[in-house]
Structures are given as C-alpha cells and as structure tokens.
Amino acid sequence: MIEVNDIHKSFGDTHVLKGISTVFENGKTNLIIGQSGSGKTVFLKCLLGLFYPEKGDIVYDGNSYASLPTKEKRNLRQEMGMVFQGSALFDSMTVAGNVMFPLEMFTNQPKSEMIDRVDAVLKRVNLVDAHHKFPSEISGGMQKRVAIARAIVMNPKYLFCDEPNSGLDPKTAILIDNLIKEITEEYDITTVINTHDMNSVMQIGEKILFLKDGLMEWEGTKNEIFKTDNQAVTDFVYSSDLFKKVRQMYIEERN
C-alpha cells in the first residue's frame, strides 16, 4: 500500500503538484488520468523517488520515503518495477539481457537460476522466442512486454507504468492492459498506471484519480467515473464521440 500525503512539487516558479493526497491499495490497478500538463508524470516520478517533493510525504507499507536512510531508499527502489512510456530498454542488451539486468545487479544467484527466472517471466508475458533479439529488432508491443518482464523479474511490491499502451494498436493495447492487471492480481502488488486512454480505464481501472492543474480533482472507481457530475472529469472522459455515445446510452438506460 502506498499513502500519499499532501505532496507539493515545483520547478522554478512553476508549481506543478499543489498538494495531492491519496492511498493506493495492494492488489489493485490504480489509474492516474488527466490532460497533458496536469502533473501526472511528475506525480509518478515522485512516487518512484526520481523527484523529491518539497512538501508532503509518501509512505510505502508504513515506511516514509523522506525519512528513510539512503541505503534503505535504494533497497526500497529495488522493490519497485517501472514500465516506461517508451519502454526504456537498454539498446546494447538483448531481450534476455534486459530482463536479467536487475538480477545480475542485485542478486548473487547462480547464472542457471537467473536464466530460469528470465525464462519464466518472459514466458509469463508470452515472449518465448525473443531471448536473443535486440530491442530494435522487436515490435513496440513486444518491447512493452519485455519492459513488463524486466519490471517484475525481481518480484516487486510496487509496479508503476507510464502510459503503457501509448503508440500501440488497440488490440495490443488491450493485451498489455490485461497483462498488467493479471500480474497485479497474481503477484498481489500495488500498481499505479499513468494514462489518458479511456479504454484502459474501462478495461482495468479499479481506482481512478483525475488530476487537473496539479491538484487531485476527483477520485473514485471505474463505475463512478461514468456517473460523476464533476465538469472537469466529464469534459475529459466524454471528449471522444465514442464515450459521448456511451454516456448517452447510460442516461437513456437510467431514464
């Protein structure tokens, strides 16, 4: 579980996060949505410890990140898995090398055990024939799956994803969404996903946070988001014709 208590983050004179508080529970897929520039990525980077909030605190299973000694912070980071928007795979390493990287860095397992573990996670993300390929030789969807495999190879407690299905075709995007949800439940981890894809919200969203101008404008469940009267949320959610029609159908059904 991750508790976020009133975090503020500025860059120069720009106040990006203006006091966000929330709780992300274990075994749930938590989605952060909002328009570009609303502070989603900065918020996610604060959760990851890449940015330090000027005010407020983030508590991971009872451990306040700000008050942890440097060594403990590094240990905590090893319990985090991250899937970046562009996958962020290491170009110079093969698929297997990318997935094995955290194991080589932080464990003293024999090579054979590492290979077994890499095989297992690559199989889990449905990539069995790509071990020796380089990231440039595989598709965007496969790269995302490798990134997920790398993120879960150390059995993390927390999984963060920054727009995991951006740039993917709708079918692959759904596959990636479902894979993240399955892994969240299977490993009982706390998953936080940054997205502005409403299909993801419908597909896997259990708890949804809507950010606007650095503030948490709304939070609730997937079902609640379609019923809310919050103008900012409805403007965002129903910006596409498809969702306008869904809402129309919902209203007609209700009446």
Contact in structure between 250 and 226 (CB atoms under 8 Å): yes
**Pick 5 or 78: Cβ nearer other proteins:** 78
Part of the chain binding other proteins (CB under 8 A), chosen from 97-105, 123-131, 138-146, 183-191: 97-105
Question: Taking CB under 8 A as the rule, does residue 88 contact other proteins?
Answer: yes
Residue 186: HSE in the Cβ half-sphere, 13 Å Cα cutoff = 11
Minimal distance, residue 150 CB to other proteins, in Å: 8
Q: Tell me, letter by letter, the H, E, C secondary structure of 204-249.
A: HCCEEEEEECCEEEEEECHHHHCCCCCHHHHHHHCCCHHHHHHHHH
Minimal distance, residue 88 CB to other proteins, in Å: 4
Question: Taking CB under 8 A as the rule, does residue 104 contact other proteins?
Answer: yes
**Pick 26 or 78: Cβ nearer other proteins:** 78
**Pick 89 or 209: Cβ nearer other proteins:** 89
Which of 25, 37, 74, 188 binds other proteins (CB under 8 A)? It is: 74
Minimal distance, residue 142 CB to other proteins, in Å: 16
**Pick 23 or 88: Cβ nearer other proteins:** 88
Q: Would you state the structure tokens that stand for residue 241, as one six-digit string?
A: 């014709």
Sheet strand arrangement including 207-212: 80-83, 158-162, 190-194, 29-33, 207-212, 215-220
Q: Distances from the Cα of 147 to the Cαs of 13, 117, 161, 192, 240, in angstroms?
A: 35, 15, 10, 15, 30
Beta bridge partners of 20: 7
Question: Taking CB under 8 A as the rule, does residue 48 contact other proteins?
Answer: yes
Which residues of this protein are in contact with other proteins, per CB under 8 A? 45, 48-50, 74-75, 77-78, 80, 82, 84-86, 88-91, 101-102, 104-106, 160
